[in-house]
C-alpha cells in the first residue's frame, strides 16, 4: 500500500484553508482599525489584542500551509 504524504492530504482542504486565510486577514485589518477607537487599558482593548494575536497566528499558519501545498 502506498503511503499518503501530508501534502496530499492537505491538498484536499485547500479551499477551506483559503477561506480561513481570507477571514483571518479581514479580521486582522478590522481589529487593527478598532484599536484606534478603543481606549487602552480597558477589557475591550485587551480582548481585541488577544483576538488580533489569534487571527495573526492563523494567518501565518494558513499562509505557510498553502505555500507548502503550492510548492510540493
User: Is the pLDDT reported for residue 72 higher than 90?
Assistant: no
Confidence of residue 1 (pLDDT cuts 50, 70, 90): low
Residue 3: predicted pLDDT = 83
How open is the CA angle 35-41-45, to the nearest 5 degrees?
A: 35
What does the domain layout of the chain look like in residue ranges?
A: 6-71
Contacts 24+ apart (CB under 8 A), 16-20: 17/62, 17/65, 17/66, 17/69, 18/62, 18/66, 20/58, 20/62
20-47 pLDDT, tens digit per residue, is 999 999 999 999 999 999 999 999 999 9
What is the phi-psi region of residue 41: left when phi exceeds 0, alpha when psi lies from -120 to 50, beta otherwise? left
Element (H, E) at 33: helix 14-35
Amino acid at each position: 500500500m502506498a503511503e499518503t504524504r501530508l501534502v496530499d492530504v492537505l491538498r484536499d482542504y485547500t479551499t477551506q484553508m483559503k477561506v480561513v486565510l481570507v477571514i483571518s486577514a479581514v479580521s486582522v485589518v478590522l481589529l487593527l482599525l478598532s484599536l484606534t477607537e478603543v481606549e487602552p487599558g480597558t477589557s475591550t482593548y485587551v480582548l481585541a489584542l488577544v483576538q488580533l494575536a489569534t487571527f495573526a497566528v492563523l494567518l501565518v499558519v494558513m499562509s505557510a500551509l498553502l505555500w507548502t501545498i503550492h510548492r510540493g
